[in-house]
Amino acid sequence: MVMILIINCGSTTLKFRIFDSELKELAGGLVDRLGQLRTKLDYWISKESERRTFASGLPDQAAALNEIFSVLTEAGFDMSDIASVGHRVVHGGEEFIRPTFITREVLRHLHKYSRLAPLHNPANLAGIEAAVELLPEAEQVAVFDTAFYSTLPDYAYLYSLPWEYYSRHGIRKYGFHGISHRYVAEEAARRLHKPFSRVNLITCHLGGGSSVTAIENGRAVDTSMGLTPLQGLTMATRCGDIDPSIPLFMIDTLGLTVEEAHDVLNHKSGLKGLTGHADLREVLVQLGEGIDGFESRRRPTKIERERSQVAVDKLCYDVARYIGSYTALLGRVDAVVFTGGVGENSASIRRRVMARLKLKPKLKMLVVPTNEELMIAREVKTINAVH
């Protein structure tokens, strides 16, 4: 049986799916806490779920893939049946705007984009190198988050900087979460009974990292993230839109190094910066909201509740601000689509966002669970058919 393996690597996680040639899911799972003690492997095969915990941890993506292969082999899968491996790659720049077979030359080019996505691309590339080692005969295919945004017009992706910053250094808006935005947009078009090429949507991927995308006639025309995944909305630990002079102030006046300023903006800001908590569930619980399966460890103080309220208001304001802006640009919006861990699961956040929009008539709202792995598998099947 011919199979397709999909790998989605993060710095401390590895998601995987196995599909047959008709894109039926056969198995899947998640490795969490890579590089830490008590790494967990949660997986399912034929709807039966199990967990394995590695007390001493798994150091990297290669070790995680080895354990995944052991589990699959024990369950009766023949790894030699994997004909293709699809990889999510966050940043492909302007060079990679469609799914691409991975060669040594392609890998060499991909490494240069790690400086633009330092939290993501190195992990993606580590997964590719591990898969090439374990499955040398399989076709390896890279599918890029940035590719969906190759249709942005120049006035949307350019920054108002000296021209050579773009022409020589590639400084421009690239956009991220493109695989997710495209998947939910196609699914929304199906639910709306409209051809994808005729649909206007605003898609909101809300999770630890968050972004909003404007889609006109099936093509992305603007998005909230920029050169890096730092721009745009208030996120779990990322600051989103700020005055560009703030990092300079942090360095020149507060005495931070460049590395320290980078760390603050990427890891100590957003919800974490405003409340001390990166987990939105903790912030909502501090406001008295019940979250199934989640309990706060202690009662919040008055100041903590006030800061949690400000943080939630800020997050929802940011999302509404982008939706409102994109609505004005698109003119006709068939639906606002929510996806991602927060977008799919928090009715409270969706309600707060939509309540901030003073639009008449009110915009139609859809909730569409994302499936990046299936979207990647579709792309792999398509490129193999052409090849």
Instruction: Supply the DSSP symbol for 147.
Output: G
How many CB atoms within 10 Å of residue 212? 26
Residues 6+ positions from 140 with CB-CB distance below 8 Å: 84, 85, 87, 101, 102, 128, 131, 132
Identify the bridge partners of residue 223 per DSSP, sorted by sequence position: 213
Identify the bridge partners of residue 42 per DSSP, sorted by sequence position: 30, 51
What is the distance between the alpha carbons of residues 134 and 126, in angstroms, rounded to a whole number? 12
What is the distance between the alpha carbons of residues 82 and 138, in angstroms, rounded to a whole number? 7
- E-strand ranges in the chain read 3-9, 13-20, 25-32, 39-45, 48-54, 82-89, 100-101, 139-144, 201-205, 211-216, 219-223, 335-339, 365-367
Active-site residue 145, yes or no? yes
130: phi then psi, degrees, rounded to nearest 5: -65, -40
Structure-token pair, residue 341: 């861990």
Structure-token pair, residue 55: 């007390």
Long-range contacts for 345-352 (Cβ within 8 Å, ≥24 apart)? 346/206, 346/280, 346/284, 348/284, 348/289, 349/206, 349/280, 349/312, 349/315, 349/316, 352/312, 352/313, 352/316
Catalytic position from the list 20, 78, 81, 145: 145
358: phi then psi, degrees, rounded to nearest 5: -95, 60
Structure-token pair, residue 115: 């400086």
Residues 6+ positions from 34 with CB-CB distance below 8 Å: 11, 12, 13, 14, 57, 58, 59, 60, 61, 63, 64
Spatial contact of 27 and 75, defined as CB atoms under 8 Å apart: yes
Q: Which amino acid is at 232?
A: G
Spatial contact of 224 and 322, defined as CB atoms under 8 Å apart: yes
For the annotated catalytic residues, the residue numbers are: 145
